Structure formats: C-alpha cells, structure tokens
Amino acid sequence: MKTFKMRNISFTLLFTLMFIMLSACSDVSNQSKPTTNDQKATTTTNVKSDVTQSSRVSSNSEAKSSTNVKEDSATTNKINVENQYKTLANSDFKGKQVIILNNNHTTFSKKDLSLAKGSWQSFSNLDSFNRVGVANAMLSKSLMPREDREPLYVDPTGWKNKKITVNGKTEWLYNRCHLIGYQLTGENNNLKNLMTGTRSLNDPDMLVYENKVASYLKTTNHHVRYQVEPIFRGNELVARGVHMQAKSIEDNKIEFNIYIFNVEQGVTINYADGSSRVQSAAITNNVTSSSNTSSLNVSKSELAVHPGDKATVSVKTKPHVQGTIEVDYSSGPSHSSGLEPKTSDSNGNISWTWTVGTRTNPGTYNVNINVNGQTITKYLVVK
C-alpha cells in the first residue's frame, strides 16, 4: 500500500516537472518566432513615417534656405545701390564731366531686363522736398512721340535760372532737363521727369546718349532698358549729377553705365538752392576757341516765321566737322526734331530745318550755332 502511494507521489511530481518544462519551452519558442506580417507592416510604416518626416524637414529647410538666399541677395543689392548713390553724391567734379562706371556695364537684374510687360516707363513720386527721383523705362519705337515738343513751363526744384556770360558768350545757365528725353517717350511737362540741370549736362552730355538710343530704336525696332537717376547730396535742391544706364535687349549693340556731373564751366553753383555766380575772368577765359580764324558762315536762313511754320538755317564750314544748333525759347532750349547734332558734308555744308511749335509765343529767340569750337548767334523771329 505504501509502495503504491509512493508511486503515485512520484508520478505526480514527474508530471508536474514535465508540465513546467513544456511551458518554458513554449515561451522560448514564442520569443524566437519571426516577425508576423502585421508586425512587419507596423515597422515599415514607422520607418516610412520617419523618412517622410525627415524629408519634410529637409525640404522645409531647403525652402527656407532658398528664401533666405533670395532675401539676402535682394538685401545685398539694395545695400550696393544705396552705397553707390552715397558715393556718387559725395563725389566732387575734378575736370571730367562724364565718368564711366562698372566698366560701362549695367547693373540690371534678369528681372529688370524682362520683356514680359512689353514697352513701359515709370517715374518716382516727388520726395518731401519736391525733388525728382529715379526714372525707368523699357524703350521701344512705339513709345516715341510723333509730334514736336511744346515749350516747357513747369519749374523743378532749384530753378533759379539766369543768363550768364562766360568767355564772351551769353547763354542761359540752366535747362529743364528731362530724365527720360522727350524724343524717347514723349513725356514733357511732367515734374516727375524734369530736373534743374546745367546747359552742358543737358546738351551735349545727356543728349549724346539719348541720340544714340533714339537712333538705335528707330533703325532696329528693338527694345532698350533705360534708367536715369538724379543724385542729390543731403537736402540740396539741385542734383549733383545724373546716373544713366541703358542696355539693348535683343542684342549687345547698346550698353552704357555713366555718371554726368551737373556743372557748368566758369560758374559756381549753390546746390542748396540753385543760386549761382560767375567765376573771375582769369578762370572763365582759360579756354579759348580752337581757331582764331573764322571758318563758319551762315549761307542761308529762313528765321522769320509763324507758329507751326518750318524754320531753316544753313552754314558753311570745314568739311566733316560736327556742328550743333540750339534754339532758346523763353521756356528753355527747343528739342524739336531736326535740331540734332550734324556733321558737315565734303563741301562743308550743314543745314537744320525744324518746325516751330504751334503754341510758341510771338517774340525773338536766340539761335546758337556751334561748329568746331566757333559760335554764331542768329535770331528766330516768331510773328
């Protein structure tokens, strides 16, 4: 009986031990099983989620970086423009009225040179001193006027004009200078496009470049990006000079980047208010004519006319020399078509013909002809 009980106890113990061992093996087996499909999907999703999040962070970072680069570039360009303005404003005339900037290359951006808007022009609002600001344009032949310019009558800041005599020649000190010349877009009595400029600033210096652009536009039907900025020092009412830039779009035939000082030989200008004084005779007479022997004569003229009529003057001079003509109305020099600089032919003949504006007041006006350093003054009589 005891033996049977002992056997039962032994069997029970054995069975218990076997059960414990089997349970342990089952746990080990479960732990070593490969990942199920659900587990794989969960793991992959987590990885993709991490990669996507990382990609988004990287993309956002790159976008922010690109934006920052653009903002930095725009800021840098603005600083460069402001620094150049200050440099030009503080520059003093040292005998050379026209100076070349940036090796004569413009500083226009790719956007500035775009033809997306076609032909256009824009002017800055007058500042708190009523001074004119930068003028911009995308020039083309379509913008050019087809009528003669009417007399100017609006007065820009610092307009204290007077006739002066320098080297025996009497002339007006100031012109009402167009930033964008009338011959380019037809803008005339627009205070946003006019500044007080000396005779030499306006003609020949600005006019030479305007004529070059006008001739190009007429002969090519292309476009020219154009900018003229008056440069003021502090709160002065008369600009120290003008910064002019131009670049042709369809080819490389036109490009310049220049600064022209607003000065007049033999005259000291008070840029704060436009007043002026003629310097001493010792200074004003230091430049003489290139020739003491006159070789310039008027050969023909039709200068007694009515408003709307054509006037004509012809001169005889040396062959192949350049001549200029200026008709001074009470409002300032005329910019009528036909009064451009010309070169004498092989026989020394130059002729100018222009239309007197229909609104020109009756009176007598100076006609100054300059050829090869010699000047003749005739008189236009408008009846």
- Which tokens sit at 143? 């913008």
Residue spans of the chain under pLDDT 70: 1-78, 166-167, 280-295
Give the distance from CA 55 to its chain's centroid: 43
Q: What pLDDT shows up at residue 287? A: 36
Phi, psi of 364 (to 5 degrees): -115, 130
Q: What is the mean pLDDT of the chain?
A: 81
Place of tokens 């900025």: 229
Which amino acid is it at 356? Answer: V
Class of the 111-284 domain?
Answer: alpha beta
pLDDT digits 0-9 by tens, 189-221: 999 999 999 999 998 899 999 999 999 999 998
For the chain, the structural domain boundaries read 111-284, 297-382
Integer Cα distance of 132 and 196 in angstroms: 10
- With residue 98 as reference, give the H or E element that holds it: strand 98-100
- Model pTM? 0.59
Q: Is CATH 2.60.40.1930 what the domain over 297-382 is classified as, yes or no?
A: yes
Strands of 117-275 (E only): list them: 120-123, 135-139, 163-166, 169-172, 174-178, 194-198, 224-231, 241-248, 255-261, 267-269
Q: What pLDDT shows up at residue 276? A: 94
Q: Please, which residues have CB within 8 angstroms of residue 365's CB and are 6 or more apart in sequence? A: 327, 328, 329, 330, 379, 380, 382
Residues 107/200, Cβ–Cβ less than 8 Å: no
Residues 143/186, Cβ–Cβ less than 8 Å: yes
pLDDT digits 0-9 by tens, 149-195: 888 888 999 999 998 886 677 889 999 999 999 999 999 999 999 99
Question: What sign results for the dihedral spanned by CA atoms 46, 48, 52, 58?
Answer: positive
Integer Cα distance of 97 and 204 in angstroms: 11
Other CB atoms within 10 A of residue 230 CB = 25
Q: What pLDDT shows up at residue 302? A: 87
Give the distance from CA 338 to its chain's centroid: 27
Integer Cα distance of 247 and 225 in angstroms: 5
Q: What pLDDT shows up at residue 6? A: 54
